Amino acid sequence: MSKTDAPPLWVDLPQFRAGMRRLAGAVTLITTSYQGEKQGLTASAVCSLTADPPLLLVCVNKSASAHDPISESNFFAVNVLAADQIGMAQVFSDTARTAERFKMGDWTTGITGAPLLKGALVTFDCEIEQRVAKGTHTIFIGLVKGVHLGENPASLIYFNGSFGTFGSLPPG
């Protein structure tokens, strides 16, 4: 069989990454607490799943330090960052600054036990309903047991390698 004649099985990594850079999205901190220790990471792969019951999903890399604590604790919160919380996104995505993560910001505890960030645009306090393992990642499906709306109504948004916020469409 000639390998050169076969169509590619899928796109290569640079193509996929270039495409995904164009998928704008909210910036969230996924947090949990396991054996008395708070853990978390910055994530953009979060979406609504069903409304009744209220389910959402997050995709977490198995290599992330918070992956196993999330899975073991059986709960997590999705803290959707407000536009003025860019510093939190940076600390939670920097593996060299793990120790700083929960020293920044004001945190409370949700009914599941998950850390909730005060001032977040919205937090979803979730119990894990199902795990779907898929290659390097796990899809955690969360049943939403608490929703908390923050006072800052402006969203932090990540797009094309930059942080920004929601803006009006140009007229026309």
Residues that bind a second copy (CB under 8 A): 7-11, 13, 15-20, 22-26, 44-57, 59, 80, 83-84, 86, 111, 121-122, 124, 130, 132, 134-137, 139, 141, 143-147, 149, 153, 155-157, 159-160, 163-170, 172
Q: What is the dihedral of CA 137, 86, 26, 34, to 10 degrees?
A: 40
CA angle, corner 101, sides to 97 and 105, nearest 5?
Answer: 140
CB of 127 to a second copy, least distance (A): 8
The whole-angstrom separation of Cα 11 and Cα 75 is 35
The residue among 36 and 53 lying less far from a second copy, judged by its C-beta, is: 53
- Joined tokens for residue 75: 């709960």
The residue among 35 and 63 lying less far from a second copy, judged by its C-beta, is: 63
The residue among 2 and 162 lying less far from a second copy, judged by its C-beta, is: 162
The whole-angstrom separation of Cα 146 and Cα 42 is 20
